[in-house]
Amino acid sequence: MSKYDIIVLGSGPGGYVTAIRASQLGFKTAIIEKESLGGVCLNWGCIPTKALLKSAQVFEYLKHAEDYGLSVKDYDKDFNAVVKRSRGVAEGMSKGVQFLMKKNKIDVIEGFGKLKTGKKVDVDGKEYSADHVIIATGARSRELPSLPQDGNKVIGYREAMSLPEQPKKLIVVGSGAIGVEFAYFYNSMGTEVTIVEFLPNVVPVEDEDVSKQLERSFKKSGIKIMTSSEVTKVDTSGKGVKATVKTSKGEEVLEADIILSAVGIKTNIENIGLEDVGIAVDRDKILVNNYYQTNIPGYYAIGDVTPGQALAHVASAEGILCIEKIAGLHVEALDYGNIPGCTYASPEIASVGLTEKQAKEKGYEIKVGKFPFSASGKASAAGTKDGFVKVIFDAKYGEWLGCHMIGAGVTDMIAEAVLGRKLETTGHEVLKAVHPHPTMSEAVMEAVADAYGEVIHL
């Protein structure tokens, strides 16, 4: 039996980052992976979808070349080449993780790991033991009873990024980040797209102003949106697929080539030995304390399998914190109220903290500022005037309660708000920090100025 200080089960952005930090701190470390290093994020999630979206963005530029004073007479898309590029990007990133494992002297054990008592893990019949076992098995596409996935006509995100041919018509069920990103991609490629969302707003976790702006932008691009609607039945017996949609006005039958189910995720906690070890689970999530210890000493869990936000950067942060606590370093519990969320459709969405509605519900007296990119010189020059930056401050103390952005490149801007909130900055401090001109990021300062009645360019 091989003995380690740390065994990590799963090699996604939670698992492999945890393993590297463990090695840096001097632990003898092994990581177990049943498929590809990097997990879903690198191979079938965050990274390859961004490659698809970049192809869509370039195609959009070609379509609108005349808006920039350019003439492009002959251009077209090659859907299979776009998919191939995306897969190549994913493979390159996975090889990068392989390099990092070797560089950090981490043993990679290939196979399906199952937890055993006594801090042991069985991998396809061979047993390994460790002082600490960290579960980072992630999640997969969730299936609804009314929307069973067959991988052909009713698909999840994994199939959506590697279809053999482009569908003429696509129904996207669910308008979270995955749903709207694929809706944008396929619409840009020329597919007729309909989004069906159960709740009253698309991207329902976002501030309502952001949701309304995305709906306007998507409709302008030709995407059909049905909110407060539910797919109750699907018929795949014909050439394509028929979806029965229940709306406030009654039932409607939609026809398409394919339905993409983007209704959330299901954790990968089945058959990994949780019951054998006695690890506590509640509603599909492994229960942990602030340092990711389960109820059984020596076993830990991070990432999508735990109750925090199911985001790659959250999993990485949790893993680092977990290992540093094991190593005896001074660590602070993660602040889940200051986690940025990003959606990479066009326009992009980025947010952190409370929405305006949440701030009011919590009883804050608030100052709200908003600066549209239509008033931004950089956005006008770039031809990306859709969207805005919205900020929310506590009127009494100036605490930065929330920041919500929608527009080109905002996923690269949100870190300012995350850092500002971490450092407990006030609205006046943000306002007096000189922002460069012309940039998209100066819209943050302008939005803060609007909140305090000092806006110049609006």
What's the number of CA atoms in the CB half-sphere (13 Å) around residue 46?
Answer: 15
What's the number of CA atoms in the CB half-sphere (13 Å) around residue 431?
Answer: 19
Q: How far from chain centre, in Å, is Cα 341?
A: 7
**Residue 437 a catalytic site member:** yes
> Is 103 annotated as a binding-site member?
no
> Is 304 annotated as a binding-site member?
yes
Q: What is the CA radius of gyration of the chain?
A: 23
> Is 6 annotated as a binding-site member?
no
What is the pairing mode between strands 154-155 and 258-261?
parallel
Catalytic residue of the set 64, 428, 437, 457: 437
CB atoms within 10 A of CB 448: 29
> Is 176 annotated as a binding-site member?
yes
Q: What are phi and psi of 84, to 5 degrees?
A: -60, -40
> Is 180 annotated as a binding-site member?
yes
| Residue 74 CB partners (closer than 8 Å, separation 6+) | none
CA proximity to 130, closest of 354, 345, 326 = 326
> Is 298 annotated as a binding-site member?
no
> Is 178 annotated as a binding-site member?
yes
Strand-pairing partners, residue 255, are 242
> Is 208 annotated as a binding-site member?
no
Strand-pairing partners, residue 253, are 244
**The two structure tokens encoding residue 325:** 């606590």
| Residue 377 CB partners (closer than 8 Å, separation 6+) | 437, 438
> Is 10 annotated as a binding-site member?
no
**Phi/psi-derived region of residue 283, left when phi > 0, alpha when psi is between -120 and 50, beta in every other case:** left
> Is 278 annotated as a binding-site member?
no
- Tokens 């067959």 locate to 150
The three-state secondary structure class of 127 is strand
> Is 174 annotated as a binding-site member?
yes
Binding-site residue set for NAD(+) = 174-181, 197, 264
Active site residue ranges: 437
Binding-site residue set = 50, 113, 174-181, 197, 264, 304
Binding-site residue set for FAD = 50, 113, 304
